[in-house]
Structure 1
């Protein structure tokens, strides 16, 4: 089957000027000729054409700009000849000004195209890195239908502080969705580290809790290397064994997933533990043997207290026709112009479908319509049994 045609590169499209800008040279020439027709014959209106090369440079390449310069000079000479002012001194200076504008416009056009190509290469590399860090969500994994949505608050950076991954392993489908404390390049680094640790261990670690503990230690090492004692990652880890009627969930300080069935939205009840990177605090507080000592100088950020020590993942029934929705607080804490939070459950209850792709498409449109520009990164995964 032939490959589907690729859509225009979004960055290349962004580099193009608005369509109306491309028509400005023609408008300028028309205005000049109209002025020539209405003003007295003693005045040559070709003065307007001095700006033509620079106007052309904003939309076209160096060759077209140079041609426009020659055309502007020729038209100025013809108009001056018609008025009988061909060799007058002020007209001569207009010709020189047009020629200089043409030289500068040609250089401007060349530099604009050169910078555009550099930007296109840089953004292409950034998009490649994004697909390496945040891989596209597969449509199916280990007996699950999956749909995902990711939008960083700053569209220019492509990757923000939210993360997700879906792996098909020998233990079944394993899913990670999380949110890094903080923003900027530091958060992106943590995203890459956590996803790298998850991909390296998800295929070999038998238990979901043990997998969460490995990620916890990875975040702790990252925090120590950076000297950031308040670094942590809220996360939900999920496992589905093909043919099972339930999924296993470990919640490490993340927002509660939702189970959707028709118009019914139910929060998923599962033990709630400290975020990744802070698990050693919970173990030390509970007096577990071998728990590392907690330095007294460490500043603990405001996170929910640990209500219980989790000994295993929570088993959550996932009947046919139901969908499990994992999301970050970029969805639930999106605000409208009045400052009201996005009513996620109420909005989903009106949708009347549990198809993962339709849920994600709805949220992509509705959150944007409700909140406009995002103030926080946003990540969503919708999961249903095949």
Structure 2
């Protein structure tokens, strides 16, 4: 599962108040009783307790808030009786103020819980829809072992402007990894459109270059439909047939993948075409052919977006991907991805851009 796609119960846990909030009412009561013990007996410290019901409402439900209100007024009465001021007018106003705070706190607590349930339901629906758009990476597809990592720059969303898909088709395994220009909901919309177009054509289009051109036309239609003349998507498309010992690669303006073996890490050389959505700028140019990339057992292709290669440390230096992987001593996809998940965070801290990684090796 992409690292960004967290279960609903984890999201709900993140939205609960911190544990220390539940102890604030207890601290307030203890503080009030300490004041009651140290100040002269003619002064009742129960005034501090007026805010108690509202404080309880931050971390407890309506029933607990109402019970806290009754208990608070009872404690105020005891403290006022001890000081001999039970029926004095300013104490009566304290009781009434506490009752009003209790009513308000109970209503706020009910509204907080109701709103939390609504948000959780909305989040669950959003998670379901977004997982439909960006599916979990399969462990195996068309003779490949696969591992993936996906992290949007905005932690509160599940999908950013990066995209990936791995399909097992009659032409072999087909892989797409890309990066949409722009951010926000517009980029997510384009991600959904491109992935939909890829899933619809990857199983029926025999030629990998033709598949890329169909995606190019899909992005052009999306740009025209939304009036965005600057919309484009950088992408890498890959095809692998078991037993051939090689993969075919089409690069549409994307950062070049890396090929890892036990002893070397090399950038994959292939024709660099215009990004998806800009194909009309090369009208009349000769048709390019996919690059053939050797992929024997023990070798791994690493596809990634610039959220990895352009991650920066505190000094502004880019993440040195090849040199960091060189010391890892493995080409296993799952270990590569796990390492990058930790190491990019340690190097750059908070992400400034979305991040997507696919590691592929013959099964």
Fold similarity call, TM over 0.5: yes
Q: Which runs of 4+ in 1 moved over 6 A?
A: none
Q: 1:368 — aligned with what?
A: 345
Q: 2:170 — aligned with what?
A: 170
Q: 1:280 — aligned with what?
A: 280
Determine if contact 1:263/1:350 at 8 Å carries over to the other structure. no
Would you say 1:266 and 2:266 are equivalent positions? yes
Determine if contact 1:263/1:351 at 8 Å carries over to the other structure. no
Give the alignment partner of residue 336 of structure 2, picking from 341, 351, 359.
359
Inter-partner Cα distance in structure 2 for 1:67 and 1:264: 69
Q: 1:118 — aligned with what?
A: 118
Q: 2:294 — aligned with what?
A: 317
CA displacement, residues 358-385 of structure 1 (integer Å, 9 cap, x when unaligned): 1111111111111111111111101111
Q: 1:210 — aligned with what?
A: 210
Structure 1 position 7, deviation (Å): 6.5
Q: 2:248 — aligned with what?
A: 248
Inter-partner Cα distance in structure 2 for 1:63 and 1:161: 45
TM-score, length-normalised on structure 2? 0.96
Q: Once structures 1 and 2 are overlaid, which stretch shifts more, 60-69 or 343-352? A: 343-352
Segments of structure 2 that go 5 or more residues without pairing to the other structure are: 1-5
Q: 2:317 — aligned with what?
A: 340
Q: 2:230 — aligned with what?
A: 230
Inter-partner Cα distance in structure 2 for 1:115 and 1:177: 37
Inter-partner Cα distance in structure 1 for 2:7 and 2:255: 36
TM-score, length-normalised on structure 1? 0.90
Segments of structure 1 that go 5 or more residues without pairing to the other structure are: 1-5, 289-308
Would you say 1:76 and 2:53 are equivalent positions? no
Q: 2:109 — aligned with what?
A: 109
Inter-partner Cα distance in structure 1 for 2:353 and 2:181: 11
- How do residues 26-37 of structure 1 correspond to structure 2 at under 5 angstroms? 26-37=26-37
Inter-partner Cα distance in structure 2 for 1:47 and 1:264: 74
Q: 2:42 — aligned with what?
A: 42
Three-state SS of the structure 2 residue aligned to 1:247 is: strand
Structure 1 position 10, deviation (Å): 2.0
Inter-partner Cα distance in structure 1 for 2:261 and 2:89: 83
Three-state SS of the structure 1 residue aligned to 2:178 is: strand
Structure 1 position 115, deviation (Å): 1.3
Structure 1 position 266, deviation (Å): 0.7
CA distance 1:263–1:16, change in 2 (3 Å):
farther
Structure 1 position 212, deviation (Å): 0.6
Three-state SS of the structure 1 residue aligned to 2:280 is: helix
Structure 1 position 283, deviation (Å): 2.5
Inter-partner Cα distance in structure 2 for 1:130 and 1:81: 61
CA displacement, residues 84-124 of structure 1 (integer Å, 9 cap, x when unaligned): 11111111111011101101111111111111111111111
Three-state SS of the structure 2 residue aligned to 1:266 is: strand
Q: Once structures 1 and 2 are overlaid, which stretch shifts more, 39-48 or 374-383? A: 39-48
- How do residues 294-333 of structure 1 correspond to structure 2 at under 5 angstroms? 309-310=287-288, 312-333=289-310
- How do residues 72-221 of structure 1 correspond to structure 2 at under 5 angstroms? 72-221=72-221
**RMSD (Å), alpha carbons:** 1.4
Structure 1 position 280, deviation (Å): 2.0
Q: 1:295 — aligned with what?
A: none
Structure 1 position 271, deviation (Å): 1.2
Inter-partner Cα distance in structure 2 for 1:8 and 1:223: 34
Inter-partner Cα distance in structure 2 for 1:184 and 1:244: 40
How many residues in Structure 1 have an aligned counterpart in Structure 2? 358
Structure 1 position 244, deviation (Å): 2.2
Would you say 1:349 and 2:349 are equivalent positions? no
Structure 1 position 158, deviation (Å): 1.7
Q: Once structures 1 and 2 are overlaid, which stretch shifts more, 267-276 or 194-203? A: 267-276
Determine if contact 1:235/1:251 at 8 Å carries over to the other structure. yes
Inter-partner Cα distance in structure 1 for 2:35 and 2:227: 69
